[in-house]
């Protein structure tokens, strides 16, 4: 019985092209005698973006509309080791294989596939442990140097960053409510920024009353 396959191509940046991946995978499918049901291509960083085209293939797999997915290499499919394992488990549950052009076929129905998945799961856990250890070590070193971690009492990072914009909009006659909505602040924060500014400087905004601005 001829296997139905979905071809998946991905590049990370807009200055790259999926053309080579598509050409190689189409040729590979023809040699193997697969029936290509479609070609999905996208430009996205695996670690930073949602892979929308890949999601469509996963929906096809869940619907049992394909038997396998073709990729040039595993890094084109998996966002990370952990993501690769999770999607492989999903595909195995739907009885769909992931086939790389290099000849590697992942099917968790086979002893070989189960062994590779277990090894990858162990490596993924090891990777997580290393990250946690580096984070803890970095925090401990920072504390030893006297660095204060986290937000400190009285610290207003976002409010201080947007203070000039808030004051400019107030001078232009915008209401506190409109300023808060535009800058994604609370109206209370806007009011506090103006009050602090009036306390620090000459009352250059006395012509603008709180009642008028909040209308």
Q: How much is the mean pLDDT over the chain?
A: 81
Question: Residue 54's pLDDT band (boundaries 50, 70, 90)?
Answer: very high
Which pLDDT does position 35 carry in this prediction? 95
Write down the catalytic residue from 12, 47, 204, 213.
Answer: 12
What is the per-residue pLDDT across 148-204, written as a single tens digit (0 to 9) for each? 665 555 546 667 778 888 888 888 888 888 888 888 888 888 888 888 888 877 554
What is the per-residue pLDDT across 74-128, written as a single tens digit (0 to 9) for each? 889 987 777 887 888 888 889 898 988 877 777 666 777 777 767 777 776 776 7
pTM higher than 0.85:
no
Q: Domain-by-domain residue ranges, the chain?
A: 4-120, 157-213
Query: What topology is assigned to 4-120 in CATH?
Result: Rossmann fold (3.40.50)
- Catalytic site includes residue 12: yes
Q: How many residues belong to the chain?
A: 215
């Amino acid at each position: 019985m001829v296997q139905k396959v979905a071809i998946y191509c991905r590049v990370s940046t807009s200055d790259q092209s999926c053309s080579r991946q598509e050409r190689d995978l189409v040729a590979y499918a023809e040699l193997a005698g697969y029936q290509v049901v479609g070609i999905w291509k996208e430009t996205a960083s695996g670690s930073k973006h949602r892979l929308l085209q890949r999601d469509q293939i996963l929906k096809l797999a869940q619907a049992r509309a394909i038997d396998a997915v073709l990729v040039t290499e595993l890094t084109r499919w998996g966002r990370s080791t952990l993501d690769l394992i999770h999607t492989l488990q999903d595909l195995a549950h739907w009885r769909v294989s992931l086939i790389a052009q290099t000849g590697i076929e992942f099917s968790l129905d086979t002893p070989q596939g189960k062994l590779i998945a277990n090894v990858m799961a162990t490596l993924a856990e090891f990777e997580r442990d290393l990250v946690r250890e580096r984070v803890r070590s970095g925090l401990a070193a920072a504390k030893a140097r006297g660095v204060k971690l986290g937000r400190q009492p009285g610290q207003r990072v976002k409010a201080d960053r947007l203070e000039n914009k808030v004051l400019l909009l107030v001078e232009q006659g915008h209401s506190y409510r409109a300023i808060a909505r535009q800058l994604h602040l609370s109206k209370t924060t806007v009011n506090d920024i103006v009050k602090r500014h009036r306390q620090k400087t000459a009352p250059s905004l006395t012509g603008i009353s709180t009642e008028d601005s909040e209308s």
